Amino acid sequence: MAKEKKGKIITITSMKGGVGKSSIAILLSAVYKELKKKVLILDLDLYSGSISFLLNAIVKNSVYNICDDMNNNRYKGINSGEYLCHYDEYVDIISSPKDPRQAGKVDRKCLEVLLNSLGNYYDVVLIDTNHVLDVYSMLAFNASDAILNIFTNDAIDLKGTKNFVSICKNMDVNNLFLVLNEAQDDRKKYFSNYDIKNIVKHNIDYIIPSAFYTKNFDMYAMESTLFKNYAKMKQTSKKNYLIVEKLALKLLEDCEKEAGELDEEK
């Protein structure tokens, strides 16, 4: 893990697709934007990333281009303006490859160098990954101050989450947060929260309630205006949005605590 850096790196992951991972990454970035934090969203869902689509962002280059330029001594630095999509004053995006055939060509060593440098330029780096424990996800986990696993009340999802928790314990990972997303499909109420905790062998750190995803949320996602209408969404579902805001603040708080402990160890 990179120990000396300005910003905090938070990786959002899942062990199953379709659990609302990318939407939650964008919602967290909206909270940090309101706090006037400089935010980078890095889309490491290399084969099917959706961040730039959900934000209607026009991207010229991707994480593949960064790593390719690093590998061929053409890299001009993250601040060159060549690789970033400047969404607005506070939010930048590094997109997943436009062509999925480039996904497997992202150089691992170059990606590791990139991950360990991003915190020098941003207050918060949010990494959206895929639901496969590949080498790219593992690199993101290793560089992260907090790992956020999103899951639903689904038997297959719980099986994958249980395995992920077990892997994290074996690797002495102590910065894992589990978020139960009940809003992704409110028909899925197969297990009680007590059952879920016994199945995955880990506390549920946060629950996003089924009332959270209003039709307005879906509409704004389709129109790619989630940031623009964030304040309006908060007014229509204030109680539910407070949950996301508490999660966002808690993540930063725990990251700061961990950084302090590392400083003491030095």
Q: What is the pLDDT of residues 163-199, one digit of tens each?
A: 999 999 999 999 999 999 988 877 778 899 999 999 9
pLDDT confidence band for 158 (50 / 70 / 90): very high
The CATH number of 8-265, from 2.40.50.140, 3.40.50.300, 3.40.190.10, 3.40.50.10190, is 3.40.50.300
pLDDT at residue 2 is higher than 70: no
Top pLDDT among 6 and 200 is at 200
- C-alpha 195/C-alpha 214 separation (Å) is 27
Per-residue pLDDT tens digits for 17-53: 889 899 889 889 989 998 999 999 999 999 988 898 8
Strand order across the 91-94 sheet = 85-86, 91-94, 39-44, 124-129, 8-13, 146-151, 176-181, 206-208
Q: For the whole prediction, is pTM greater than 0.85? A: yes
Top pLDDT among 64 and 188 is at 64
pLDDT of residue 255: 65
Q: Cα 102 from chain centroid?
A: 21
What residue spans define the domains of the chain? 8-265
